[in-house]
């Protein structure tokens, strides 16, 4: 394992400060000046290396977030209602991007991680298929309930012997369908 840099050995509060300052658009010299004020023993080149990695990570996260948002919007356009599935897909995408970013800097994706990633993707696809099947079955069930409610409402209206009021008939159908869910 590689030795930690001086910046990585700083207390978490100072590392967070470096990140916040960089996010705020501060330069290396400005950040270095603030660290010197706080008596942190950090050199300019070490800080520069850390900020280079920080900026690269921030860019990868930005691209990953943009891709995840694009995926989420496409899922919403496709009518996928399951928020858990959408979250899982988005999380998997972020994980893939992180693995790819790590692989760029450290010599590639190891076989164990590749296997785990492929199994996760397969499980996610299976779960998404199961979700779609449940949605289809729910729609079929609701359609059958709607037909039953309509038949019952028409039966009641014609049993009364008078003319069928379409507004009253529609209200009876609605009560038949939605009344099931009032409990």
pLDDT digits (tens, 9 = 90+) for 84-125: 666 666 666 666 666 666 654 554 556 677 677 767 777 877
Report whether pLDDT(7) > 80.
Answer: yes
- Residue-level pLDDT at 21: 92
Q: What is the pLDDT of residue 30?
A: 93
Would you state the structure tokens that stand for residue 5, as one six-digit string? Answer: 């840099």
What does the pLDDT average to over 67-93?
64
Q: Is 153 exposed, middle or buried (0-12, 13-18, 19+ CB in 10 A)?
A: buried
- With pLDDT > 90 as the criterion, what percentage of the chain qualifies? 4
Report the phi/psi class of residue 79: left, alpha or beta, with left for phi > 0 and alpha for psi in -120 to 50.
Answer: left
Per-residue pLDDT averaged across 59-69, rounded?
74
The pLDDT-based confidence of 146 (bands split at 50, 70, 90) is confident
Average pLDDT over residues 1-27: 84
């Amino acid at each position: 394992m590689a030795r930690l840099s001086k910046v990585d050995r700083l207390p978490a509060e100072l590392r967070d400060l470096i990140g916040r300052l960089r996010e705020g658009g501060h330069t290396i010299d400005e950040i270095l000046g603030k660290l010197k004020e706080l008596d942190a023993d950090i050199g300019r080149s070490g800080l520069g290396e850390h900020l280079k990695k920080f900026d690269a990570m921030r860019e990868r996260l930005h691209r990953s977030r943009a891709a995840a948002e694009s995926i989420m919007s496409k899922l919403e356009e496709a009518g996928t209602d399951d928020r858990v599935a959408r979250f899982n897909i988005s999380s998997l995408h972020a994980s893939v991007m992180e693995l790819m970013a790590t692989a760029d800097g450290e010599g590639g994706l190891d076989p164990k991680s590749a296997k785990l990633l492929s199994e996760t993707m397969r499980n996610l696809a299976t779960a998404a298929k199961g979700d779609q099947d449940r949605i289809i079955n729910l729609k079929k069930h609701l359609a059958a309930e709607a037909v039953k409610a309509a038949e019952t409402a028409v039966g009641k209206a014609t049993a009364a012997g008078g003319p069928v009021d379409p507004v009253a008939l529609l209200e009876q159908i609605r009560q038949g369908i939605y009344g099931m869910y009032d409990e």
